[in-house]
């Protein structure tokens, strides 16, 4: 009986799978020593070995370009540390906090903005740290929403997830729990009935936000995993990262957001690439992102329109950076641009 495929974690594994070449080993060894590598069987199956620019490979296979040091690169590009009052908690916005339960992921994306802190050997919060994090949430009545993130919280066992959810349920002012995850596409077999049940708590709203960047990630197995959440009453949203050579053309981005909506997942955020070290080769310009959003507007259903955002370096939060459709003429009237680029006059208020 053949053993089940395992996650590829070493360069030799990638070479044996035909994902990298032996002659690149020395350069990639330096990348792997600095940034974690893991490609699940589900993701490895989607990579076209014959295409040197395969969009799935660009997301997960290490590249020597990651060693390129650029002056704008930041170890903590969105300022988590500056807003972390206790271990595991990031309190950047008034009414919500991040709760980083673990720094481990099922797969490690080459563009990750937390790439300096995630990977094998990174521990989940200790019992004492989790106690302190939940005590912080309980002591701040302005916290309406808790966002479970990491790493990826859904690499944890249903038992551990249930414990956290039960303890959050006991905090009266926490009304919403949001879970950010890549597991349904990266390792769909983890989305078991037990895990889904662990996320459901009485009198609280649970949302699952899927990270997916290309329509090929939404395999039959991934769709079935998402169905388990949605059919149980847990709504799903999505977040994607705009990536050069992965989804930075209207057809590919349009196929992604349409596939998400077909899966009953509302596209929520399209993130501009963060200034994480070694990721410059995957970032687009803001103007490119704005052009792509213009290409979606009016041509795809409103259900398919994510908000294009940039997380301002230093911890100042997300800002929408999509295109503007309003200008003013000399008479002070608004000029509204439609999705075909035509301008229309709109009178001022009386």
CA distances from 26 to 9, 30, 179, 282 (A): 16, 7, 38, 22
Please return the burial class of 280, using the count of CB atoms within 10 Å of its CB with bins 0-12, 13-18 and 19+: middle
Name the residue among 229, 190, 185 with its Cα closest to residue 211.
185
Within 8 A by CB and 6+ apart from 71, the residues are: none
Within 8 A by CB and 6+ apart from 29, the residues are: 11
Exposure pattern of 14-35 as b/e (b: 16+ CB <10 Å)?
Answer: bbebebbeeebeeebeebbeeb
Assess whether pLDDT exceeds 70 at residue 2. no
Q: What is the pLDDT of residues 200-222, one digit of tens each?
A: 998 899 999 999 999 999 999 99
* Cβ proximity of 273 and 243 under 8 Å: yes
* Cβ proximity of 149 and 180 under 8 Å: yes
pLDDT at 120: 74
Sheet arrangement for strand 307-311: 89-93, 96-100, 145-149, 176-181, 205-211, 236-241, 265-271, 307-311, 318-320
Q: What is the pTM of this model?
A: 0.94
Q: Where are the domains of the chain?
A: 11-67, 81-320
Strand ranges inside the chain, DSSP E: 89-93, 96-100, 145-149, 176-181, 205-211, 236-241, 265-271, 307-311, 318-320, 326-328, 334-337, 343-346
Band the pLDDT of 122: cuts 50, 70, 90. low
Exposure pattern of 285-302 as b/e (b: 16+ CB <10 Å)?
Answer: eeeebbebbbbbbeebee
For residue 315, the number of C-alpha atoms closer than 13 Å in the C-beta half-sphere is: 13
Instruction: Domain 81-320: give its CATH code.
Output: 3.20.20.70
Average of per-residue pLDDT across 294-307? 96
pLDDT at 3: 67
Assess whether pLDDT exceeds 90 at residue 321. yes
CA distances from 251 to 113, 214, 223, 293, 300 (A): 26, 11, 21, 12, 11
Assess whether pLDDT exceeds 60 at residue 1. no
Whole-angstrom Cα distance, residue 60 to residue 51?
A: 14
CA 232, chain centre distance (Å): 23
Whole-angstrom Cα distance, residue 152 to residue 238?
A: 15
Instruction: Tell me phi and psi for residue 89, to 5 degrees.
Output: -110, 135
CA 214, chain centre distance (Å): 12
Assess whether pLDDT exceeds 90 at residue 4. no
CA distances from 80 to 99, 150, 305, 314 (A): 11, 11, 28, 8
Residues with catalytic function: 92-93, 96, 105, 109, 112, 114, 274, 311, 318
Q: What is the pLDDT of residues 219-275, one digit of tens each?
A: 999 999 999 999 999 999 999 999 999 999 999 999 999 999 999 999 999 999 999
């Amino acid at each position: 009986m053949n053993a089940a495929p395992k996650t590829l974690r070493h360069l030799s594994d990638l070479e044996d799978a035909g994902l990298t070449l032996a002659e690149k080993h020395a350069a990639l060894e330096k990348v792997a020593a600095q940034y974690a590598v893991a490609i699940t069987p589900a993701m490895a199956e989607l990579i076209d070995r014959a295409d040197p620019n395969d969009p799935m490979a660009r997301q997960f296979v290490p590249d020597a370009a990651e060693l390129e040091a650029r002056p704008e690169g930041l170890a903590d590009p969105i300022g988590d540390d500056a807003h972390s009052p206790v271990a595991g908690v990031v309190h950047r916005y008034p009414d919500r906090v991040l709760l980083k339960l673990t720094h481990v992921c099922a797969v490690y994306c080459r563009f990750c903005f937390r790439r300096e802190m995630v990977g094998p050997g990174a521990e989940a919060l200790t019992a004492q740290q989790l106690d302190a994090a939940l005590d912080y949430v309980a002591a701040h009545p302005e916290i309406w929403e808790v966002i479970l993130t990491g790493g990826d919280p859904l690499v944890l066992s249903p038992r551990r997830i249930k414990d956290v959810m039960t303890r959050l349920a006991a905090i009266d002012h926490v009304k919403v729990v949001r879970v950010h995850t890549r597991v349904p596409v990266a390792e769909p077999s983890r989305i078991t009935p037990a895990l889904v049940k662990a996320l459901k708590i009485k009198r609280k709203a649970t949302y699952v936000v899927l990270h997916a960047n290309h329509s090929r990630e939404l395999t039959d197995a991934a769709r079935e995993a998402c169905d388990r959440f949605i059919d149980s009453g847990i709504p799903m949203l999505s977040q994607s990262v705009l990536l050069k050579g992965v989804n930075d053309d209207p057809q590919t981005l349009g196929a992604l957001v349409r596939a998400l909506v077909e899966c009953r997942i509302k596209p929520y955020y399209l993130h501009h690439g963060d200034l994480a070290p070694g990721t410059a080769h995957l970032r687009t310009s803001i103007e490119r992102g704005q052009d792509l959003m213009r290409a979606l507007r009016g041509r795809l259903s409103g259900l398919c329109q994510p908000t294009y955002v940039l997380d301002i370096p230093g911890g100042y939060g997300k800002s929408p950076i999509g295109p503007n459709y309003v200008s003013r003429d000399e008479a002070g009237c608004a000029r509204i641009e439609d999705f075909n680029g035509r301008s229309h006059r709109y009178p001022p208020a009386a």
